[in-house]
Every structure is written in structure tokens, then in C-alpha cells.
Amino acid sequence: METLERIIGEHPFFAGLDAGFLNLMVSCASNVRFTPGTYILKEGEAANTFYLVREGKVALELLAPPHKPIIVSTIGIGEILGWSWLMEPYVWKFSARAVDAVRAIALDGRCLRTKCEQNHDLGYEVLKRFAGIVEQRLDATRLQLLDVYAVRR
């Protein structure tokens, strides 16, 4: 049977997380679905949620007026969407659009910020895990830029 406890507990992002901390995460979680083309989050809006993508693909977009948004990355199954909920001013730096049907677990950022403030050990665990995601995304961006701007001989 699929339960939030099992789904979150088996997600790589939460691997090795203390059972008590895992229960705190579950208390802030819910299942969500997005249809293709739906914006899950929009650049400049309040950031109060992050997502564990369970199915589908999500395009991360950067606004570039007067042009169409630029797709900077695509996130898929097993990945995390959104970390702006964790750091002030809690505003999205990118937009995220469902490329196809997306199923995800939404975690309420306000709920988690409160729990992290109340339990600094939990806060440290969450911050370490998000720092790893940020590092992975920066490495991917670096490789993408090298590919785009590499000198061709």
C-alpha cells in the first residue's frame, strides 16, 4: 500500500533520515498532481512548498522578457523541485512547468521551517540535504555552459 510514510521514507533525498524526523516530514506532506502545461511555481511568487517528483517531467524556466521563458533544466522522477522556501526572502527564482502529467509529494515549507526552528538537528539535516541538491544543480549548469560555450576547433 502506498502511504506518505513509505513514499517519503523510500525517496533518496530522505535516505538515512531518523524515523522521528521522517514523521515530522510526513506531517507536512500531501499528494499533488499537475496536468501538462500547468505552472507548479512561478518566478517572483512566494515560495512555501517543495516537491518530490514521483512521475513526469518538470521544466525549470527563467523569465527573459520580451522573449519566451528559457528552459534551464528539466527535473524528473526521484528529483526535488524547489529550495527557495528554505531561504529568505522565500521567493521563487525560477518558474516550473509540468511538461507532462506530474505526480508529486508537496511538502509545506512554512510547516517545515517551523519544525526546523524548533528542532535545530532537523534543520541541519534538511539544510545538508538541500546543499547537496544545490551542488548537483550547479555542477549540471556548469557542464551545460561548458557545452554551449566550448571553443570549437
Within a 10 A sphere around the Cβ of 151, how many other Cβ atoms?
4
Going by the DSSP 8-state scheme, the letter that residue 94 receives in this structure is S
Closest CA to 34 of 53, 62, 61: 53
Confidence band (pLDDT; 50, 70, 90) for 153? low
- Sign of the torsion formed by the C-alpha atoms of 147, 53, 42 and 126: negative
pTM to 2 decimal places: 0.85
Non-local CB neighbours of 79 within 8 Å, separated by 6+ positions:
53
Going by the DSSP 8-state scheme, the letter that residue 91 receives in this structure is B
The predicted-structure confidence for 71-89, as pLDDT tens digits, reads as follows 888 999 999 999 899 989 9
Least confident of 52-56, 60-64, 139-143: 139-143
* Choice between 132 and 147, residue whose per-residue pLDDT is larger: 132
Tell me the β-bridge partners of 74: 59
Domains of the chain, by residue range, sit at 4-149
Query: How close are the terminal C-alpha atoms of the chain, in Å?
Result: 56
The predicted-structure confidence for 107-116, as pLDDT tens digits, reads as follows 999 999 999 9
44-72: burial string, b at 16+ Cβ within 10 Å, e else: eeebbbbbbbbebbbbbbeeeeeeebeee
The predicted-structure confidence for 22-59, as pLDDT tens digits, reads as follows 898 999 999 999 999 999 999 999 999 999 999 999 99
What is the pLDDT, as a whole number, of residue 152? 60
Q: Could you say which of 2.40.110.10, 3.40.50.720, 2.40.10.220, 2.60.120.10 is the CATH number of the domain covering 4-149?
A: 2.60.120.10
Which run of H or of E encompasses 55? strand 49-55
